[in-house]
Amino acid sequence: MRETLPRRIGLWTAVAILVGSTIGSGIFRSPAGIAAKLPGPVPMLAVWGMGGLFALCGALSLAEVAGAYPRTGGLYAYIREGWGALPAFLFGWSELVVIRAASLGAVSLTFAAYFLRFLGVDPTQEPYATRVHWIAAVAIALTATFNYVGVRWGALVQNLTTIAKYTGLVVIVLVALAIGLPATGGHFTPATPPGSFSIAPFGLALVGVLWAFDGWADLSFVAGEVKDPRRTLPRALIIGTLAVIVIYLLANVAYLSVMTVDEIAHSPLVAADVASRVIGPAGVLFVATTVMLSTFGTLNGSLLTAPRIFFAMADDGLFFRPVARVHPKFETPYVAIALTAALGIVFVLLRTFEQLADAFVTAIVPFYALGVASIFVLRKRADYDAPYRVPLYPIVPALFVLATVMLLVNATIDPSSRMPTLAVFGIVLVGIPVFFLTVGRRRRAAATEER
């Protein structure tokens, strides 16, 4: 008998899951790399706007499919419904061997670095440069425990940390605009200095922006536990994504109000530097606390949502059956949660932040495109019943898919990112023979027995 998870997640918890899963380390770490690639105020703000548009098109499209198929596993289920078992398996395979572990590792390392900075030590110097990986591993284990003992505990942590991190970002923006902007006049001119914009660097900068925006689809993974899902899921996806876009754009305006683009490019902890200039040491402490809460909340959100992918795969027979077990007392997919946490801990002990973040974005983007593109297939079905319809169809989902293709082509063509991109694609494609040697073989044997 298939095991099920109870529907306990309401609208505002759903919004908190999306916002909390999205706002993590990206808005605090990505601006430096983006400013280095696009050293002008307008190109820098434009790429953040483009990333927001990209995420919104994806969220609007996924909101329709999520309302029609409010199932545990979300994106995995939409890919399976639209494109079949093999692409769905490849998504789960990629989540297992690259995507989720890399994401957990990158976010937890940021948490650990700011935790050490909060304690007054430099996380880049030994012995703390080594200890930061162990602290990150403990953070993964702790958030996994919250979600192991019940979705209500995970949801409570998510709600509290989401409120704290969003409020913290709003305070940073208000202080920068109220105190920093009058003092500096802002650093918005020249708007587009010579050499500040070209297509290839823009595409690479967009990868960093997409890392910051990632999380808008994570809510779909717990769709099977959302109350009144046909109404709640579309609303939460749209409200949450818009909230993230607004605060990200305001944060970058705030950074430019206090620091030049060149200074931002040389500031890996830009929010802390902005607060230090405007408020002083107390501002640095405030930002460190905000980032700690932000990344801890993102870790919690990831361990609340991602294990449902492996749970759904196992429930469908595309993964080991024990992974679909539901805890008899806590009513959580405890095996899937433990598996996800274990993989994240292994990755965080072996890789750096940059290696983890780049691998994550490259691997996840093609499956976002497949999930969104499933709308074109599903709309042709006679039994397709979506409570919400994406506006400007088919332009909105097509724009998302086209942007994804262009992003991947750019990453493959550019010499600096070609080999890492191809390596990640190679790992994803290894899933094809794995599928035919395991799941495919079992399915063929079952079909033969039925005949």
Q: Does 376 have pLDDT greater than 90?
A: yes
Q: How far apart are CA 135 and CA 141, in angstroms?
A: 10
Q: What is the CATH number of the domain that holds 21?
A: 1.20.1740.10
3-state helix, strand, coil in the chain (%, to 5): 80, 0, 20
**pLDDT above 70 coverage of the chain, percent:** 94
Q: Residue 446 has what pLDDT?
A: 57
pLDDT, mean of residues 8-23: 88
Q: How far apart are CA 307 and CA 340, in angstroms?
A: 6
Q: Is residue 446 part of a domain?
A: no
Q: Residue 183 has what pLDDT?
A: 81
What residue numbers bound the domain in which 329 lies? Answer: 11-410
pLDDT band at 170 (very low <50, low <70, confident <90, very high): very high
List pLDDT tens digits, range 337-356: 999 999 888 878 876 655 56
Q: Residue 356 has what pLDDT?
A: 60
- In this structure, of 62-71, 168-177, 192-201, 262-271, the range with the lowest mean pLDDT score is 192-201
Q: Is residue 423 part of a domain?
A: no
pLDDT, mean of residues 2-8: 70
Q: Is residue 98 part of a domain?
A: yes
Q: Is residue 274 part of a domain?
A: yes
Q: Mean of the per-residue pLDDT values for the chain?
A: 85
Q: Is residue 438 part of a domain?
A: no
Q: Does 441 have pLDDT greater than 70?
A: no
Q: Does 443 have pLDDT greater than 80?
A: no
Q: How many domains does the chain have?
A: 1
CB-based contact 309:94 (threshold 8 Å): no
Q: What angle do CA 198, 204, 205 make, to 5 degrees?
A: 85
pLDDT, mean of residues 278-292: 85
List pLDDT tens digits, range 196-219: 788 878 877 887 788 788 888 888
- In this structure, of 168-177, 182-191, 241-250, the range with the lowest mean pLDDT score is 182-191
Q: Is residue 415 part of a domain?
A: no
List pLDDT tens digits, range 390-419: 999 999 999 899 888 877 887 777 777 677
Q: Is residue 144 part of a domain?
A: yes
What distance separates the 2 farthest-apart alpha carbons in the chain? 79
Q: Residue 1 has what pLDDT?
A: 37
List pLDDT tens digits, range 34-62: 998 888 899 999 999 999 998 899 999 99
Q: How far apart are CA 137 and CA 279, in angstroms?
A: 33
Q: Is residue 427 part of a domain?
A: no
Q: What angle do CA 311, 318, 213 make, to 5 degrees?
A: 55
